[in-house]
């Protein structure tokens, strides 16, 4: 019985301490992912095909910007799903993005789908795109 009481006290203390932690307790990994940058090939496709509407602020009824890596990691409006997860749904010939413009090239489509399939990682290294 004492073991159960000790376990309960320990669990209660851990729960209380966890609830009291602040957002500034984020790990370096959490910050690095949010502060990451888009891979150059992904950035190139987004700049050339998507930012006409998905700028900041968005125009022409686009629901979100796609200018930065952080933009792609933000929750899709009204959901908890990151925008990059939802992007795949509109990268099909039946739900054409961008609207009123030619569909993505095969290379551009594969660049975005490969990045999404890989889990939408940030660019490796600290260098910028040329």
pLDDT in tens, 65-105: 999 999 999 999 999 999 999 998 888 766 667 777 778 88
Residue 31 C-alpha from the chain's centroid:
13
- What's the chain's average pLDDT? 75
pLDDT: is 109 or 18 the higher one? Answer: 109
Give backbone dihedrals phi and psi of 39, rounded to 5 degrees, phi first. -60, 145
Give backbone dihedrals phi and psi of 82, rounded to 5 degrees, phi first. -65, 150
Per-residue pLDDT, 37: 92
What tokens does 32 get?
A: 């690095």
Measured at the CA of 74, the angle between CA 70 and CA 79, to 5 degrees, comes to 170
| Alpha-carbon span 23 to 39, nearest angstrom | 27
pTM of this prediction?
0.69
């Amino acid at each position: 019985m004492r073991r159960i009481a000790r376990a309960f006290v320990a669990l209660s203390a851990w729960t209380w301490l966890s609830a009291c932690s602040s957002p500034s307790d984020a790990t370096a990994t959490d910050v690095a992912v949010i502060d990451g940058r888009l891979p150059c090939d992904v950035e190139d496709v987004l700049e050339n095909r998507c930012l006409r509407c998905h700028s900041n602020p968005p125009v022409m009824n686009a629901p979100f910007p796609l200018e930065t890596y952080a933009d792609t990691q933000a929750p899709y409006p009204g959901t908890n799903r990151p925008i990059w997860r939802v992007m795949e749904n509109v990268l099909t010939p039946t739900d054409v993005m961008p609207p009123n413009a030619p569909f993505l090239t095969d290379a551009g489509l594969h660049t975005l789908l490969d990045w999404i399939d890989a889990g939408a990682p940030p660019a490796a290294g600290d260098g910028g795109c040329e």
